[in-house]
């Protein structure tokens, strides 16, 4: 259990101040945050390792010129490809439907509790997360549907322009693509705090999307600054630690069971150290926007945080 800090200051923060608060909170609550992430990441990495072993090692037969695969070699290759495909699908479903929603909800609760000076524990955070799990999955599906719909519309527009206007259409397609990219980045920034809103205010996915859109209005630039800074830090940590993990697994054989075990343990360590950064930043950014737009400090004094939220 974590003891409450002596003082919680709720005031608008500059991007640099918000980032400093992220790392201060991370450092002071490292063991708590590590435990919250580990609850789902450790079992997931174990399952990932076992499924990877099930797929079998890659068989890459060395053939001379004109030599063909034997039936045994072909069977081995097909087994490997099918096994790998099944493993990837299972891991993708587990990640999207279980790992990410539960971890996100629990960690958001942990960050909010500690930032607001409340006692937090992994057990309490996951009890809370289970109640938000289905809504987070639905939120993810809604956003995925919006993204896929936008991609399909963009593809159709580009195809029609290229077919009807030929060379001019190709040029217009490039411009449309660039405009779509800018619009997509803006939409991402506007929806960046939908998850904290859903988790902390107990609202529906549609209400969380509206909430994020409202809170980020007139703050798109700040949202970009916060997200870009956090992503760059995560990327740097991931590159450094990922390179180290890869180097450690080479002596054991990258495809050997021991090499795979070293790689998966390394990936677990990277996930445990990396995952808290963006989630912490977005949660604090959510609070920062509420301070700016809703005098959130008054709500805190009334003990309404994480207890009563706007109706969805």
Q: What is the pLDDT along the chain (312 residues), one digit of tens a residue?
A: 444 443 455 677 788 888 889 989 998 999 999 999 889 888 887 887 777 776 655 444 554 555 565 666 666 667 667 767 777 888 888 888 888 899 999 999 999 989 888 889 999 999 999 999 999 999 999 999 999 999 898 888 888 888 887 777 778 888 888 988 999 999 999 999 999 999 998 899 999 999 999 999 989 989 998 999 998 988 888 888 777 777 776 676 656 667 666 777 777 777 778 878 888 999 999 999 988 888 766 555 445 555 544 444
Predicted local distance difference test score (pLDDT) of residue 165? 78
Quickly list H helices, the chain: 15-28, 30-55, 71-94, 100-115, 122-190, 194-201, 205-215, 220-249, 257-294, 296-301
Domain ranges of the chain: 15-61+69-301
Question: Residue 286 CA to chain centroid, in angstroms?
Answer: 16
Q: What's the pLDDT at 211?
A: 95
Q: How far apart are CA 169 and CA 163, in angstroms?
A: 7
Position 300 scores a pLDDT of 59
Residue position matching structure tokens 């790998």: 84
Q: What is the pLDDT of residue 301?
A: 47
pLDDT score recorded for residue 265: 75
Residue 191 is predicted with a pLDDT of 94
Q: Hey, is 95 helix, strand or coil?
A: helix
Question: Taking a C-beta distance cutoff of 8 angstroms, is the pair 99, 41 a contact?
Answer: yes
Q: What token pair was written down for 180?
A: 């779509």
Torsion from C-alpha of 69, 75, 76, 77, nearest 10 degrees: 70
Instruction: With beta carbons less than 8 A apart as the criterion, state whether 189 and 216 touch.
Output: yes
Residues in the chain: 312
* CB neighbour list of residue 177: distance below 8 Å, 6 or more residues apart: 154, 158
Q: What pLDDT sits at residue 7? A: 41
């Amino acid at each position: 259990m974590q003891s409450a800090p002596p003082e919680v200051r709720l005031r608008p923060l500059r991007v640099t101040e918000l980032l400093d608060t992220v790392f201060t909170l991370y450092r002071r609550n490292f063991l708590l945050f590590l435990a919250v992430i580990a609850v789902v990441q450790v079992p997931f990495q174990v399952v990932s390792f076992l499924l990877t072993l099930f797929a079998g090692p890659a068989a890459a037969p060395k053939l001379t010129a004109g030599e063909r695969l034997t039936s045994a070699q072909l069977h081995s290759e097909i087994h490997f490809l099918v096994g790998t495909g099944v493993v990837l699908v299972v891991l993708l479903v587990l990640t999207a439907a279980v790992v990410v929603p539960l971890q996100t909800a629990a960690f958001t609760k942990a960050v909010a509790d500690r930032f607001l000076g409340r006692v937090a524990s992994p057990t309490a955070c996951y009890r809370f997360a289970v109640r938000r799990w289905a809504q987070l999955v639905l939120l993810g599906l809604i956003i995925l549907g919006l993204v896929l719909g936008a991609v399909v519309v963009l593809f159709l527009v580009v195809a029609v322009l290229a077919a009807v206007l030929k060379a001019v259409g190709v040029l217009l397609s490039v411009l449309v693509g660039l405009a779509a990219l800018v619009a997509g980045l803006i939409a991402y920034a506007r929806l960046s705090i939908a998850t904290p809103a859903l988790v902390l205010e107990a609202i529906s996915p549609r209400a969380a999307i509206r909430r994020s859109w409202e809170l980020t209005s007139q703050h798109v630039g700040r949202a970009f600054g916060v997200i870009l800074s956090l992503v760059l830090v995560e990327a740097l940590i991931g590159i450094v630690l990922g390179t180290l993990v890869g180097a450690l697994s080479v002596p054991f054989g990258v495809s050997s069971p021991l090499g795979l075990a070293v790689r998966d343990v390394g990936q677990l360590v990277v996930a445990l150290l990396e995952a808290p950064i963006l989630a912490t930043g977005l949660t604090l950014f959510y609070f920062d926007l509420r301070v700016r737009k809703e005098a959130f400090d008054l709500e805190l004094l009334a003990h309404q945080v994480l207890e009563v939220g706007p109706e969805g």
